[in-house]
Amino acid sequence: MLRPLTALSERIPKALLPCFLLAVFIFLYLKTFIFPAVPIYQGANAPVFLLEARRMLDGQIIYRDFFELVFPGMPLTYAALFKLFGVKAWIPAALLAVAGTALAWLSVVISRKLVGGALVYLPGALYVTLALGNALDATHHWISILALMAALAVIVEVRSPARLLAAGMLCGVATCFTQSRGALCLVAFSAFLLWERQTKKQDLKWLAQREGGLLAGYLLASLPPVLYFGLKAGFGRFFYCTFAFVTRYYSSFDRNNLGVFMVDVPEMKGILLVPAIAIWLFIHLVAPLIYILLLVRYARKPAGADSRPWDRLMLVNSLGLAFFLAIVSAPNWFKVASASLPALILLAWFLDSPGRFPQVARGLLGLAALGVGLATPLITQFDWHGVLETPVGRVAVLDADRSDKYQWVLERTRPGESILEAGDTDLYFLCGLENPTETAFLTPTDYTRPEQVERAVAALQQGVPMVLWSPWLDLPDNRHRAGDHLGALRASLRDSYRVVKTFRDGDQMWERKVGGRDRKVP
């Protein structure tokens, strides 16, 4: 018979936290590296920021010389790491492992203010194994979430002006990586202070000191990069890229709207399909349902004395709602999973109660985290993977089709050479290649602006030797067909290039007919 985990609180040694964090790091290391030290090249969105970091090291100015819609924190971070360690493939993999371990630690710090015993480790264990472990993309999202969870840890127990100043600075840091999430969480903390002032009958001076500290910290951290890159790129250009473009055109791309919610069903095979779908459903259902349940519980709380830590619970809930609002415009699996930590912390609080159902639920969730934590690293290590020698070091690639494509390109290009990878960004960092256009990738929607296509055509006319073209670029979404501006680029491609290789995933490599180097292509 399962016993309540909270009853074990006196038996949990202090050494369990280091052991837990070591286990988390080992799990993430084995998910991001092939033992002993070959980084796994995950692809996805991280290569966009890896490319941008290289461009910044080459002296290019973000927003002015190349397009980006988020604040500059992520490419700046990669540029600093490249400056320190060199342009190496292990950097994004190591960043994921370190950031994930730090998030697990912050989860324990915050959970200890709400629950007791071994239950404090459950949210972090679930988050790392079920969410982060299935969303391994070293982008700005993880760093902004890390900064905001640190802000929550600073003020979850005590909300003095000094602590709120620190929390505001961490919100500002988060804004430098993901502007919408950082700003929304600042608003959430500010709204919580209004609620706390009302419930605790504090005066206006109490509120002004704390709101002022929160805002001052935010401005201290977020304004310098805005001013610097606004001056460098021009404030008009900076505003267009990071605000106007986002509000006007971001949702035009079919991956950036409400239609992506719960459509990316796991594609696992065999016995792995059932647990994969269970994890997928669990993460999607926890948030925002848990936030609504907490508000209902608060509304129904007894009018008399109540020993539950409602101020801490409402603070976590406020942050979680802000996390959800920040991704609601494009709630794909990655964004839902990465934003789920506050919901998992509140779930642990709901389960920290007597009764058969909470006991069983705690046990099952603990077993799920343990099972996934043991099984998936072994699958990663022993399942098929290709190892490539690249300009950024040895890398492992988990998909055979991608591995063959990368190998083909590596054998036929030189580092520093320009190539247009029209529909993605994977090749530039991995193969040491240059992007001749201002955009990381192109789309057949209004997300790719006509002027960007014009400049891409002009770049091809300068003699770009090869273009990797993806089939989906020829299939504009019927809902956004009027936003397909790639016609001139397709015409230039047909006129000046010829297909020399069709890869198994349908991508085609086009070689320039005249003016390029002669190549012997099998």
pLDDT for 253: 87
pLDDT value of residue 497: 94
pLDDT band at 243 (very low <50, low <70, confident <90, very high): very high
Please give the Cα distance from 256 to 356 (Å, whole number): 42
Q: Checking DSSP bridges between strand 508-512 and strand 466-469, what pairing results, if any? A: antiparallel
Q: What is the mean pLDDT of residues 123-140?
A: 96
62 DSSP assignment: B
Q: Look at residue 111 in the predicted model and tell me its pLDDT.
A: 96
The model's pLDDT over 376-386, given as tens digits with 9 standing for 90+, comes to 999 999 999 99
Where is pLDDT greater, at 186 or 4? Answer: 186
Closest CA to 175 of 215, 135, 122, 125: 215
- Give mean pLDDT, residues 158-179: 97
Winning range, highest mean pLDDT, from 271-285, 294-308, 505-519: 271-285
Residue 301's pLDDT band, with cuts at 50, 70 and 90, is confident
The pLDDT of residue 10 is: 42
Q: Which residues are 39's β-sheet partners?
A: 33
Question: Apex CA 309: angle with CA 308 and CA 311, to 5°?
Answer: 135
Q: pLDDT per residue over 60-104, tens digit each?
A: 999 999 999 999 999 999 999 999 999 999 999 999 999 999 999
User: What percent of the chain is modeled with pLDDT above 70?
Assistant: 94
pLDDT of residue 43: 81
Least trusted range by pLDDT, from 245-254, 264-273, 491-500:
264-273
Q: How far is CA 498 from CA 87, 143, 464, 490, in A?
A: 33, 42, 13, 12
pLDDT tens per residue, range 381-439: 999 999 999 999 999 999 999 999 999 999 999 999 999 999 999 999 999 999 999 99
pLDDT at 519 over 50: no
Structural contact between residues 164 and 210, judged by C-beta atoms closer than 8 angstroms: yes
pLDDT of residue 5: 39
| Residue 476 to residues 150, 254, 447, Cα–Cα distance (Å) | 42, 10, 12
Enumerate the domain spans of the chain: 16-374, 399-512
**Confidence class for position 482, pLDDT limits 50, 70, 90:** low
In this predicted structure, what is the pLDDT of residue 479?
Answer: 61
- Joined together, the tokens standing for residue 240 give 């267009």
Work out the percent of the chain whose per-residue pLDDT is above 90. 83
Lowest mean pLDDT among 106-115, 156-165, 227-236, 508-517: 508-517
Mean pLDDT, rounded, for 158-180: 97
pLDDT tens for each residue of 332-360: 999 999 999 999 999 999 999 888 999 99
**For the segment 176-228, what is each residue's pLDDT rounded down to a tens digit?**
999 999 999 999 999 999 999 999 999 999 999 999 999 999 999 999 999 99
Identity at 118, one-letter amino acid code:
A
Average confidence score pLDDT of the chain: 92
CA–CA separation, 12 and 120 (whole Å)? 11
Mutual angle of helices 73-85 and 46-57, in 10-degree steps: 60
Determine the 3-state secondary structure of 268 from DSSP: coil
Is the pLDDT at 516 greater than 80? The verdict is no
Confidence of residue 451 (pLDDT cuts 50, 70, 90): very high
User: What's the pTM?
Assistant: 0.93
* Segment 9-45, tens digit of pLDDT: 445 556 799 999 999 999 999 999 999 999 999 888 9
